Chain A
């Protein structure tokens, strides 16, 4: 080994030569397939169950027996008879936009600093990394407590979309920060050097040359954040509340996830909750499709 200069891997690997080892591995492989089936099976079960129970909720039959689409489920104004989910959908969009408005600029800016401007071994970088890791690991119920104590009560923002957005913004910040830094770091130095060689300054290089290449990774983190935001319940119930109308920044408003939670917990119609579950599923599918679409387009460009 020392003659060729190759290094030994710091890992203990056994090169299998005995037949018994092969048999064991064959068995494990079968287990792998079984595990794969279970995973896919569970997914299909969940989706099938929700669709089978939820899709009929979108339709009603009249006296002649013809099927009508329940447009009331998407009425602009919610009331306890139509149980419309449109305000909840709009609120989800508002909440997502507001939260991203907070976490994306801060996360991308911070990531740029860590990757491009900071000295690699500096103490500040270490502290920022540790705090980002910490933030990422905090359970959502603690964010709920934090959001309620800080934004709702102490800063007197009350139960509002703003309190909710600030809380969720803080929750998604570490994700975007870390991903931006990683994506930027994975851009080869040659890109930067080429740009410097042509006379461009650091800022222009970073923004015009490096950032676009790192975009797929950053967008992946943004989409992941959107997923977290649209799925969050506990943190939002205590910060943006359960208002049933279309909410402005200072109003209380429920997102789709909160709407589902409240419907099946306190509403008098469980059928409507299945309908909301269907919509949530559709949104997840769309987001995932969008994410892989963007990833493909951007890697093609680059």
Chain B
């Protein structure tokens, strides 16, 4: 008897909890929930540089002024999930991931829509390279062949289909499978990982004896891993720093990705300026209604 009444109570409670998650009307007085990435993220590194959140302080040193109250989510999809679940949230994430995700919306930046065409014609300015990072020139046969595939017509077709801007043109060579074998570990940026997985799958279909594993741990982890041998090939979603190239890191661009500014679907804001982005992500502007002033 007790159990039955208790179970009933529990079901009611669960339903109540579920109901509270339902969306109410968008309230502009809400405090903006800023969602950012961890410090080692290439997306964050590129984002703060391109929007001015990274600025020189009084002593001339470059400082990342990301709002101290910003939620740190370590991974592209965690950012998207957080923004999708929270009406007042705003974040930034790899455009190629956002294009595959209809739970959030990408804002226009100064009237320009976030799309691969606009990155190609240069009007959407918040974009960064997807880099493959190696420790100097590659020597491993399998790694070299895989890179040839990535940069070939077939590889770049996969890159374009995934939502990146490819630098391929008519001169790009076609890939010829040579039935390579062995195993490779590719690790690094969580933004690059999805397209890298598709490339790896495509390669393994043409070379069944080969085994390529993709680890998504973060851009800086990709560079560190490439340099200390943990990864055969690293991935970074930003340009390399001087300190990294000094240690021997070599970057090859496999495509260009946009960074989308994403908000919740219930948010009426459609367009934002770069300056407003900077204000929000440094904490200068904290409510949605203050943004429009």
Contact = CB atoms under 8 A, between A and B. Distances in A.
A266 B6 contact: no
Contact of B10 (A44, A158, A243): A44
A37 interface: yes
Contact of A153 (B11, B100, B183, B228): B228
Interface string B256-268: 0000000000000
Contacts of A37: 6
Given A251-B183, A268-B97, A45 B14 contact: yes
Contacts of A152: 230
A159 interface: yes
Interface in A230-269: 237, 241-245, 251-252, 262, 264-268
A153 B227 CA distance: 12
A242 B10 contact: no
Contacts of B198: 80
A266 B10 contact: no
Nearest to A148: B230
Contact of B213 (A79, A80, A244): A244
Interface residues of A, number: 29
Contacts of B11: 48
Interface in A164-201: none
Interface in B49-103: 74-78, 81, 97, 100-101
B81 A245 contact: no
B194 interface: yes
Interface string A94-115: 0000000000000000000000
Nearest to A49: B14
Given A245-B213, A266-B78, 6 more contacts: A40-B6, A45-B10, A242-B216, A266-B190, A266-B194, A268-B77
Q: Which 3 A-B pairs have the closest CB atoms?
A: A243-B213, A265-B75, A266-B75
13 contacts: A37-B6, A44-B7, A48-B14, A158-B230, A242-B217, A243-B215, A265-B78, A266-B77, A266-B190, A266-B193, A266-B216, A267-B77, A268-B97
